[in-house]
A and B are shown apart, each in its own frame.
Chain A
């Protein structure tokens, strides 16, 4: 280290104050606090805020890149990028069986191992994925179409679901996403549609399809619609026959309820002559009985309530709220483009609203991924890290309910101790499978500024108290220890829990 400790913090504090801006300070002080459940107020640095929303926080080099090309160009790049799994990431993922074997081959592995590998893959992608926006959308849709991996050995179908449903359509068209999900063995298994058959309909999937995946609970459907949708989807199951490719989608005409026409949201879906006879549909040949379910998916995907519901979801995820003007604007893009996710995202991501909107609490997965990125850590995302996620309450694919991990700050306030323990372990004690190159911070002119900029990219300004405390804390410490403890305290601080 070629700077003194005094320089280290003195410069950082000065930089913080200088960029705060008097107008912002005044607004902040005049604003006061809401009496109930106040959210932290005040300004954040625009680039830090942007990267916390569009990416899993800032990794080394990111802020400089955004600064040089600008937010708008960054958004365009992210929206146009085709392949999110760059070669470097593929090397990291190469050893994971869950990404290389199909469900049947995976059955040699224990469920526990499959779930762990799935979690590992997700974390590696979030930390190292080059197209961070894509990983953000994977996080959003994985929760939107939540599947509990422990139900009925669902873990074995999950890798395919992630690949063919969530990742394949993350930035594509929402109707394609819903349709892929409806055909996904993981979903058929999780929400029991594989046992939905004529005479004994199982409404589980039909209900969640409308309530959680498309229309939303106030989307205007009735119990009658639930029943009719369930009837339309009878026979949508998972292949189990001898000498057939097991574990794939199958329409079983023998299980399909073709007894009478169904009526879904005001549309009549007629019976067919022979549910097993193949018909042409969207360039494919499918059994005629399967058409009823496909028509339901058309009806739902084209319903205005779905446009509104999906728009709300996107606004809440990226803007931290559901301002009516924004939801209406995004919903109208859904309707105009037939649910193009890219088109809906573009105005949101490049907006001033994103930079000015209220803060959003990081879920544990977000916290860990952004912590790793802030440190520029080299991690295997293995058991030692995943255990921390378990303790915070977000071991991935472990949420039993179909609604996905909650996004409310109130749901996660119990995870503070576990967050602190992660911060201290990764930065000071050492975490198995994870290394941080502390020496890399020492080479430049001003390591402290870079360190704080990186660790606390979400820093609210002004927060001179933080600098004061950190300054006091490292008095008399040798440089690497000062750096490690600064990093630990930054990650554990209230500021780092928000995005």
Chain B
């Protein structure tokens, strides 16, 4: 009885609010339902980003107990981008004359090459998995297996493969003139190894997403095309490719975002000193107590990712949604 009274009392208090909610149109109500998700996103994503940006507007305070120094506006950005901070950051931010030793170039080269290779290989794997053949289940397991390997384990596998004294690939590759005898100590060699390692692991990710796209294609389209006399290549070009392209682009977007943030793979296989990515730079400057500089590079990565995502969405978002 008492409980019922309490409930009624509460309802009476909230009645005006409930009435307002009931009067909302469908669009407004949908937005209202998004508020909790928006709040969570704000707390876990937007707020840290704002704090990082705020930190990036302060100087480093290396010789004082303060975590960050005085307000300097955009000076950190100017000095980082123009290379004035290179010596403090352990490697060049951008040095076109030595791309494999500069963070921005390494990050872009790694991202571009690995995402392109993963897309091509992943597409091939998806086409194979889309076919009916004996042992398809085992083929799926084999293709997906690398994706299940944790980054540290994957890193150790490749690290051991290219160790000078025990790695079984080091000597043969050196003898055919591909790598030096200490490939993980050479920036170019190590970058190639990192790309191979990344492709080995994440092609399966691309394959899975593309496979989902392939399997959503109406098979009758192929039957009609066959009746019309279309060759295998024509069927691929006119049916498969256009219909699966939005899914491929979404998968590429995911991989691009991940590749731009590469850090763990580098640290486990080579080292951030040998292959300095932007994320490496964030970690090393943070470790050395250069919090303003660290926040600046971190925000630059966030900005690059933000621009990439926006570009993708503008370019292909509508197509993807339409399909």
**Do A and B belong to a common assembly?**
no
User: Chain A residues in contact with chain B, CB under 8 A?
Assistant: none
User: Chain B residues in contact with chain A, CB under 8 A?
Assistant: none
